Structure 1
Amino acid sequence: MRIVGLTGGIASGKSTMSNLFKASGIPIVDADVVARLRNALKKGSGGWKRVVAAFGEEILLPSREVDMPKLSQIVFSSDSKRQLVNK
């Protein structure tokens, strides 16, 4: 498996290339989306409270931060669970 990183300045074609990859069936991980999700799930925040209420405390680390790999595993195993998180 190859991992490719897209970088560049504003209007350099990153979104265009990302969309071409997606259209070709190549999985994309958007670091901006990941960063926004991590910020939205900061311990004690409204998003954190809603996700814990929806998925239970088993998605938390001992520090009470969201265990992102565990949450991802749950969410990507079910369309309905993924839709719940996307709300």
Structure 2
Amino acid sequence: MLVVGLTGGVASGKSTVASLFASDGVPVIDTDLIARELVTPGQPALAEIAARFGPDALSTDGTLNRPWLRQRIFADEAARKVLESILHPRIRAEVQRRLEALRLQTPPPAYALVVIPLLVETGAYDALLDRVLVVDLPEDLQLQRLMTRDGVEEPLARAMLAAQASREARLARADDVINNRGAPDDLMEQVERLHRLYAGLAA
């Protein structure tokens, strides 16, 4: 089974691209969704976050206080590293478990897609991947989409971009690139072309 890592900067369109692959029947493992599962009430990761960051990290209903934590980690690199040390090993272990489960299917899928926003930054997934697909767009457009999508002010949006690998670093790691500055139809066309490529490589 071929394993393709899908990455891109924040608000680049990774989820949209992943959903287009999924509509072709490709199994998608999304590390953002795994991260959300890991911080639901009762999970050890959430308890560890509360212990390390204090009571402000939790909302009154006991769920993760995402707006507070986001402000904190993008204002303080050391805090971001602490959060990553709690979550990243757990996320990677779950990705590995899900890939193994796919390989045990009869027959296994030709290929699987793993969505990893911080693929370049962590380097933790290199051994699991056969190819890397980057969703790319110019930084000014990325900034604009991020502010619109998340309703954040420009200083926080810029801090979020600065905390990630540069566009150049992502492109240097790419085996394949999807250009997401255009129309939705153009995006679909690029996904279909890559779907045929990956199915062919797997065969």
Following TM superposition, by how much is the alpha carbon of 1:4 offset from its aligned partner in structure 2, in angstroms? 5.3
TM-score (norm 2): 0.29
User: What is the alpha-carbon distance in structure 2 between the residues aligned to residue 84 and residue 53 of structure 1?
Assistant: 11
Identical positions, percent: 20
Q: Whose strand proportion is higher, 1 or 2?
A: 2
Q: Deviations over 1:30-73 (max 9, x none)?
A: xx333222111111211001000000111211111011111111
Structure 1 segments, 4+ long, off by >2 Å, are 3-6
- Gaps spanning 5+ residues in structure 2: where? 1-10, 23-29, 86-203
Matched to 1:35, the amino acid is: L
- Structure with bigger RCO (C-alpha 8 Å, 6+ apart): 2
User: What is the alpha-carbon distance in structure 1 between the residues aligned to residue 83 and residue 77 of structure 2?
Assistant: 10
User: After superposition, where does 1:11-26 map in structure 2 within 5 Å?
Assistant: none
1:57 counterpart residue number: 55
Larger radius of gyration: 2
User: What is the alpha-carbon distance in structure 2 between the residues aligned to residue 55 and residue 63 of structure 1?
Assistant: 17
Query: 66, 69, 82: which is aligned to 1:68?
Result: 66
Query: 40, 43, 53: which is aligned to 2:41?
Result: 43
Query: Structure 2 vs 1, CA of residues 86 and 62 (structure 1 numbering), >3 Å: closer, same or farther?
Result: same
- How many residues are paired up? 65
2:78 counterpart residue number: 80
- Gaps spanning 5+ residues in structure 1: where? 11-31
